């Protein structure tokens, strides 16, 4: 069954994570020790993320374009709201190096640069299209990979908060693990992210556009 929150919006797992991302089997920092299986933990996370969507999108006051709402504190708070009832590391920047993401000592600096760039992209005088801002935002957060786990889902929720702030429809992120063409879609997403690493955001914009079309 596809995870759905109280508003009928499907939530996406981390199946689009790039090769080398943090595996879901590591239970270091698990607060709810009775969640002994991956299925139990996934179900608990799905429920918690649904509540985070309620807090930051469906029942939230819209963020105002041009204000400095995307801050270091907000980025960490959203992650804590998503995973804080389950994992001790929720909302805390990782202290260990991974195969992807920046070095731990660079995380706070890179998040600061992202928030400054986003303020420029989201300025009331900016002519950057909404979907391009969303693509750049999602790519940069994912590229930093600030947390031990949950980075993909966190980046998508931050992206959705941005879409909501601009009174834009919210993408229907694909449930890759439940789709016959899931491997193909995952490869498409990873390719788009890699090209964005090289400065070409076009494919990621197109991927998000496809997700928006599937929700119309």
pLDDT value, residue 181? 65
Lowest-pLDDT range of 8-17, 26-35, 46-55, 193-202: 8-17
Which pLDDT value is given to residue 53?
Answer: 96
SS3 40: helix
Residue-level pLDDT at 115: 98
Please tell me the CATH code under which domain 38-168 is placed: 1.10.3290.10
Cα distance between residue 138 and residue 143, in whole Å = 8
Closest CA to 6 of 41, 49, 39, 60: 49
| Confidence band of 25 (pLDDT split at 50, 70, 90) | confident
Could you read off the pLDDT of 164-177 as tens digits, one per residue? 999 999 999 886 44
Alpha-carbon distance of 156 to 146, in angstroms, equals: 14
Residue spans per domain, the chain: 38-168, 171-216
Q: For residue 7, which of 42, 62, 53 has the smallest C-alpha distance?
A: 53
What pLDDT score was predicted for residue 78?
98
pLDDT tens digits, 50-96 = 999 999 999 999 999 999 999 999 999 999 999 999 999 999 999 99
Tens of pLDDT, residues 95-124: 999 999 999 999 999 999 999 999 999 999
Chain mean pLDDT for the chain: 88
User: What integer is the mean pLDDT of 145-152?
Assistant: 96
Q: What pLDDT score was predicted for residue 215?
A: 66
Exposure of 6 by Cβ count < 10 A (0-12 exposed, 13-18 middle, 19+ buried)?
exposed
With pLDDT > 90 as the criterion, what percentage of the chain qualifies?
78
């Amino acid at each position: 069954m596809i995870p759905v929150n109280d508003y009928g919006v499907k939530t996406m797992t981390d199946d689009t994570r790039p090769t080398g991302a943090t595996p879901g089997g590591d239970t270091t920092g698990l607060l709810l020790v009775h969640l002994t299986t991956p299925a139990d933990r996934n179900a608990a996370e799905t429920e918690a993320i649904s509540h985070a969507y309620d807090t930051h999108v469906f029942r939230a006051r819209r963020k105002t374009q041009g204000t400095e709402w995307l801050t270091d504190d907000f980025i960490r708070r959203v992650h804590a709201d998503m995973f804080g009832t389950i994992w001790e590391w929720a909302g805390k920047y990782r202290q260990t190096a991974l195969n992807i993401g920046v070095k731990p000592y660079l995380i706070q600096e890179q998040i600061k640069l992202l928030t400054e760039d986003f303020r420029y992209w989201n300025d009331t005088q900016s002519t950057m299209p909404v979907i391009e801002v969303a693509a750049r935002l999602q790519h940069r957060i994912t590229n930093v990979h600030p947390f031990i786990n949950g980075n993909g889902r966190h980046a998508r929720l931050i992206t959705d908060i941005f879409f909501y702030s601009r009174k834009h429809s919210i993408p229907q992120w694909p449930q890759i693990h439940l789709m016959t063409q899931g491997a193909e879609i995952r490869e498409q997403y990873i390719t788009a992210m890699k090209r964005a690493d090289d400065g070409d955001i076009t494919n990621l914009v197109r991927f998000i556009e496809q997700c928006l079309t599937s929700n119309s």
